Amino acid sequence: MLFNSLEYAVFLLFVVGVYFALPFRLRVWFLLAASYYFYMRWRWEFIFLIVAQTFVTFEAARRIAHAKSEIVRRFWLSTSIVFCLGLLGYFKYLNFFQDALRPMFEVAGLSYLAPHLDIILPVGISFYTFQALSYTIDVYRGAHVAEPYLARYALYVAFFPQLVAGPIERATHLLDQFSRRNRFDIERFIDGGKLIVWGLFKKVVIADRLAIYVDRVYESPELYSGPTLLMATYFFAFQIYCDFSGYSDIAIGSARILGYDLMQNFRVPYMARSISDFWRRWHISLTSWFRTYLYLPLGGSRVGYLKWARNILAVFLISGLWHGANWTFIVWGGLHATYYFAESGTRRIAVRSGVRTVLPGYLIDALRILLTFHLVLLSWVFFRASSVADAGLILTKIFTDFGGAIYMGASQLTTLLSIALIGVLVAVQVMQEKGFVSLYFSKSRIPAAFRWPLYAGMILCISTLGVSSNAFIYFQF
């Protein structure tokens, strides 16, 4: 079931109506059933993976909480980690690693007979696997008590607004909310509804329209000139942001209507002033997950430079691999690690040399935003390209092939409208960065007489300019 469908709108209204009509003791069970139904609308058989991870991690956490020795605690923690990552590895990475091993065997003169399997990737498996794992690890660390009620924990793993593409929640934030007695709140309903409308606008009006041009150009990069490939890359930068942040907005808005608060996942990332700042603003729940459960356990920044560099490289490479079983994602992660090292080195040199600039602060900020955006833009080429070879070709043509007219798409009007919509998005982002419009649209300095016609205009655009019911990009991860 897609957020950008009439089916979801009917489903959400039905769930909200029944949820608040039910007595408190039945609400968790109802939301759990609704969440399982929501997921099964994609492929019903993969619900067993969620159920299996739920039972294993719930039982492992319970055994950890009651264990008398550290050996037993570590055994159950290891069981949970191996089981969850084993499932993720089989469905997402088995063929990738087999394909990587095959040429190594051939170089050694050996035959690698393992076949390439036709494996369907369960939607959202990377998200709910990390969410379930974080619970067991938090119980082991003493950051959260073991949940005594299986149904409540099962809802934490499968809560439908954020089940398939995040935000990746923590038990310390979301699980305890399911014991709260929520009442219908008209203000939360309005705030959640506004956020859903904004998310849908970003997805079906902006992202899906940009996708038409991006898909055409990136499908056959050898046919297009450097300026065309550059424009397609600019379009993709805004497509993936609108697509993914649009999903997060709809998820947060849906949960808010039901009385629950999901964590922030985006904070105007293209206004970042450095790569480290970008990762504090982009896919915040994943960045936070890797920091808590990988970077800090490796030693974080409390170690020598070489070990710190190892930690940063490990986080970014694994983050790249998390996004997809393709070398393009690993290169994408490695490129961001390289940016991070360069930023850290530049900052140290500037501090030691006492460099000062005569430029005004607002101009420095603008230059830093532009530089950061274009570094991120460069990395998006690898994220979107079908292969490393295609990414190399695209970058080569962008920097060397300046001839030929820019391809304006199947419809020049559609392409010009896409550019105008990017302008609208940037204007809203600037207002959000400056505080004129809140990230969740709950508060604004703009008078209601102007705001409500804007919301009505967005709804009109969704109904008239919405391109398709394409799946969200991050569903593949």
pLDDT tens-digit readout, 75-106: 999 999 999 999 999 999 888 888 777 777 77
Rounded CA-CA distance 318/335 in Å is 13
pLDDT of 355 reads 65
pLDDT of 447 reads 73
pLDDT of 6 reads 86
CA 122 to chain centroid, in Å, comes to 16
pLDDT of 245 reads 94
Residue of 144, 283, 323, 336 with catalytic role: 323
**pLDDT tens for each residue of 52-67:** 999 999 999 999 999 9
Averaged over 239-258, what is the pLDDT?
A: 95
Averaged over 36-65, what is the pLDDT?
A: 95
CA distances from 210 to 57, 130, 223, 382, 421 (A): 40, 30, 19, 18, 9
CB 64 within 8 A of CB 77: yes
Residue 176 has pLDDT above 70, yes or no: yes
Per-chain mean pLDDT for the chain: 90
Averaged over 301-325, what is the pLDDT?
A: 93
**pLDDT tens for each residue of 280-292:** 999 999 999 999 9
Tokens of 321: 């691999």
Rounded CA-CA distance 193/437 in Å is 16
Averaged over 168-177, what is the pLDDT?
A: 94
Torsion of CA 43, 48, 53, 56, to 10 degrees: 180
What's the pLDDT band for 350 if we cut at 50, 70, 90? confident
Higher-confidence residue of 286 and 458: namely 286
What's the pLDDT band for 474 if we cut at 50, 70, 90? low
pLDDT of 389 reads 95
323 is known as an active-site residue:
yes
Residue 4 has pLDDT above 90, yes or no: no
Nearest CA to 36 out of 23, 25, 46 is that of: 46
Q: Is the pTM of this model over 0.75?
A: yes
Rounded CA-CA distance 192/312 in Å is 36
What's the pLDDT band for 259 if we cut at 50, 70, 90? very high
- Indicate left, alpha or beta for 249 from its phi (over 0: left) and psi (-120 to 50: alpha): alpha
pLDDT of 477 reads 60
Phi, psi torsion values for 401, nearest 5 degrees: -100, 90
pLDDT of 469 reads 59
Tokens of 123: 């939607």
Domain boundaries in the chain? 18-106+119-183, 188-467
pLDDT of 467 reads 66
| DSSP 8-state class, residue 436 | S
Q: Report the range of poorest mean pLDDT among 145-149, 257-261, 354-358, 454-458.
A: 354-358
Torsion of CA 133, 139, 141, 143, to 10 degrees: 110
Residue 267 has pLDDT above 90, yes or no: yes
